Amino acid sequence: YFEGISTDNRFWIQDENEDMVYRLLTTGIVQIEKVGEVFISDAFKKLRITQAAKITVGIAVKGGLLDLQVDAGELSKEDLEGMLQSYRHRKKYHRLKNGDFMELEDNGLAVISELADGLNLKAKEISGGSIEIPKYRAFYLDQVLKNEGTQVHRDTSFKSMIRNMKDVEDSDYEVPVSLKKVMRKTGFRWLCTLDSMGFGGILADDMGLGKTLQIISFLLKKKGGPQKKTPSLIVCPASLV
């Protein structure tokens, strides 16, 4: 069942062999108890397997940026970094500095790992507690943080931003009168929504469905607004002209 050193009717497992010690704690003792009485020393009793605290994530809009807060409870920065590293190596546990083993299943590390990869964050940034992220990543964050294993707190401004992005068709942006009867409105409203949030954007659709016309309508709306008038350039095939 175990690989180790057997001498003088004794079986030795080096403490450095973490996988073996973990197996002994989780299933080995139970198996041995089926064939005999087990006596455990006080030192061995101190080795524990604990459940990791649920990781809590907070997201808010502050000063034109997204403020991402990661709270891992009483875990130190070093332990959180180590847990993330162990999770990426597909380990079932992480060995804490005090010698305890911490289970890594269903505690939000999957979400933290995905955020680190998707946002190109280093473990030290995540364990720092507070991370500033460009506002345009709001929709991505909202999707990732829907994982049931993570407790998420979204502030009112973040919720409002996501709601506006999802409810484009119900927005109050009015198409310029000259184009109202000849144009599909959803793309126009999508562009207006992005603009109101300070984003750039891409309008993608099949050929011939009116992307250029929707861009022109958006520019017409901007022209009639209070903003400073600046030139705009539309590049298109001669056939479209």
User: What pLDDT digit, counting tens, does each position of 81-140 carry?
Assistant: 888 888 888 888 888 888 888 888 766 777 888 888 888 887 777 776 688 888 888 888
Place of tokens 């991402």: 68
pLDDT, averaged across the chain? 81
pTM over 0.75? The answer is: no
Q: Which of 203, 182, 180 lies closest to 191 in space, CA to CA?
A: 203
Is the confidence at residue 2, as pLDDT, over 70? no
Q: Is 174 helix (H, G, I), strand (E, B) or coil?
A: coil
Model confidence at 148, pLDDT cuts 50, 70, 90, reads low
What ranges make up the beta strands (E) of 40-198? 49-51, 56-62, 65-71, 93-95, 101-103, 130-134, 151-154
- pLDDT of 96 reads 83
Name the β-bridge partners of 5. Answer: 12
pLDDT over 70 at 1, yes or no? no
Range among 3-7, 167-171, 189-193 with highest mean pLDDT value: 189-193
Q: Which residues contact 206 (CB under 8 A, 6 or more apart)?
A: none
pLDDT of residue 7: 61
For 11, 19, 80, 226, the CA distances from 44, given in Å and listed in that order, are 15, 16, 25, 73
Structure tokens at 166: 């999802």
- 3-state class of 232 per DSSP? coil
pLDDT digits (tens, 9 = 90+) for 53-73: 677 888 999 888 899 888 877
pLDDT at position 177, please?
83
* DSSP conformation class of 52: P
State the pLDDT at residue 4: 56
pLDDT over threshold 70, residue 231: yes
- Residue 64: count of CB within 10 angstroms of its CB: 10
